[in-house]
Amino acid sequence: MAGQWSGGARRIGIIGAGAGGIASGVRLLEAGYDDLLILEKAAGPGGTWFHNRYPGLQCDVPSHLYSFSFEPHWLWSRPYGNGPEIRAYMEHVVEKYGLTPHIRFDTAVATARWDDARSVWLLTTGAGEVLEFDIVIAGLGMFNELNSPDIPGLDTFGGHQFHSARWDWDHDLTGETVAVIGSAASAVQFVPEIAKEVGQLHLFQRAANWVLPKIDTPYTDAEIEHFRTHPEAVVELRQQIFDQIDPYLTFMNTDQLQARTEIGRQAIDVVEDPEVRRKLTPTVPYGCQRPLVSNYYYPTFNRPNVELVAEPIERITETGIVTADGVERGVDTIVLATGFKTTQFLSAIDVTGRDGVRLADSWVDGAHAYLGITTARFPNLFMLYGPNTNNGSIIYMIEAQVEYAVRHLQWMDEQGASWIDVKPEVEAEYNDRLQEDMATVGPWAAGNCHNYYRSASGRIVTQWPHSMSEYRRVTEAPDDDAFEIAPDALRVER
């Protein structure tokens, strides 16, 4: 099987110009793979950070870690960078590393089909154009398709409504009565901001979340100047943050969990109304849901124009929202803070692999992949932020995945291979072990957790149950035997 790839430059298609697509483009160009094209449905780079523009938007991982290792950034205004800063950082990386000529914006990928006879991927855009690639790297991740709640009457509402991930800045909320449906990651950030301008705000909460405070004092001009003139200080701070976060990502340290629970309870104590405090207190252990951070969320409930509604929503009328207790609250605008369909990953588009196997069918019981990167029957396909890779700083995790993909491309070149495909038994064994670990790691594996981690079958498909450093270790381990490999001789000239 040994030999050198003789098929010329491999044509590489990358789906998405978010963090995954950007990291892939930079690393591929560095490795000499310059025949690449990034297809991005939006008008600019950044992925989630391009689309998400709601008030108060921030990262919930300190920005010196939520940034690429190859491009440490000194110009953060505070420890947790805001949305515009992160978007500007992504644009900066694209420009600095020469990715712009390799990106086609406003180009959504509608379908991806593997051609068995010719050993190529055929990507069809939303405009009907068919593009051909030897390799596909999919950077869709988890936060791709908006999740709209299935509430009776939502489509009959006569006022204004929009999703928080597609914030309508043309609509003025000043003085309005506003309903926010959802109380998790986005609501925790934007509710304190809009509460200052609306006339009345009703926040409809399905389940209370743990919201811990964070150290987020803005950097002084002197500190920013020090970062600028001492780049080694940025690298050192990044490592310090990593060392603080990494050991606790398994949620196995009971003392740490108890300490964070107590911090969360103390944070809720700022709420003056005892009944509101009770409703805001989670009924599940810390770590059972996505950990949230905010210094402003709980104090917002002391405002006279903010009401927490914990009664389930029964239906929506033309003029308001009716809860299970029969109360109807009239509202002018509804903001859906209901997140994304996080368990779809790449199956959000129509993908067909070897022998006509559809990814959606392969994942009918929940998304799965070997190392979260490759899945059997879909050759030469590498996923970023794929199944069971969510924990810690996703940018750190993505860089490990990109490095894995590049290493396997280089291996294919060395072996003269037209395609590689992870063996089904290898993927199955890996995921069986992963789910076994999931069943014993941390409180979020409990069945009573209200979170986005599970597919319809109940399988946890989003979370990585170990540390970031452990993920780096397993993705760096040699695994050539995990793959079926096809020699260049099987490739049909095109």
Q: For residue range 402-431, what is the model confidence (pLDDT) as tens digits?
A: 999 999 999 999 999 999 999 999 999 999
Query: Given pLDDT bands bounded at 50, 70 and 90, which one contains residue 493?
Result: very low
Residues whose CB falls within 8 Å of the CB of residue 173, separated by 6 or more in sequence, listed in order:
194, 197, 198, 333
pLDDT at 442 over 90: no
Per-residue pLDDT, averaged over 164-169, amounts to 96
d(CA 375, CA 368) in angstroms, rounded, equals 7
Classify residue 355 by burial, with Cβ atoms within 10 Å: 0-12, 13-18, 19+: exposed
pLDDT, greater one: 379 or 457: 379
Residues whose CB falls within 8 Å of the CB of residue 459, separated by 6 or more in sequence, listed in order:
365, 366, 435
pLDDT at 284 over 90: no
% pLDDT > 70, the chain:
95
Query: Given pLDDT bands bounded at 50, 70 and 90, which one contains residue 5?
Result: low
pLDDT at 447 over 80: no
pLDDT, position 448: 64
Note the maximum CA span of the chain.
73
Q: What are the distances in angstroms from CA 460 to CA 108, 121, 284? A: 28, 29, 17
Query: Given pLDDT bands bounded at 50, 70 and 90, which one contains residue 494?
Result: very low
pLDDT, position 441: 67
pLDDT at 2 over 50: no
307-357 confidence digits (pLDDT tens): 999 999 999 999 999 999 999 999 999 999 998 887 788 989 999 999 999
pLDDT at 1 over 50: no
d(CA 34, CA 47) in angstroms, rounded, equals 22
d(CA 367, CA 395) in angstroms, rounded, equals 21
Query: Given pLDDT bands bounded at 50, 70 and 90, which one contains residue 487?
Result: confident
Query: Given pLDDT bands bounded at 50, 70 and 90, which one contains residue 6?
Result: low
d(CA 299, CA 229) in angstroms, rounded, equals 38
Q: Domains in the chain, please, with CATH?
A: 12-145+341-490 (3.50.50.60), 154-210+252-336 (3.50.50.60)
Nearest to 112 by CA among 130, 124, 103: 124
* Structure tokens belonging to residue 416: 């003269």
95-138 confidence digits (pLDDT tens): 999 999 999 999 999 999 999 999 999 999 999 999 999 999 99
Residue with tokens 């309005």: 176
* Structure tokens belonging to residue 383: 């996923």
Classify residue 73 by burial, with Cβ atoms within 10 Å: 0-12, 13-18, 19+: buried
Q: By three-state DSSP, how is residue 67 classified? A: coil
pLDDT, position 223: 97
pLDDT at 445 over 80: no
133-142 confidence digits (pLDDT tens): 999 999 988 7
Query: What pairs with residue 179 in β-bridges?
Result: 202, 334
Per-residue pLDDT, averaged over 432-456, amounts to 76
Per-residue pLDDT, averaged over 437-444, amounts to 74
d(CA 140, CA 351) in angstroms, rounded, equals 13
pLDDT, greater one: 443 or 208: 208
Considering Cα of 105, then 110, then 115, then 116, what sign does the dihedral take? positive
SS (H, E, C) 23-46: HHHHHHHHCCCCCEEEECCCCCCC
182-204 confidence digits (pLDDT tens): 999 999 999 999 999 999 999 99
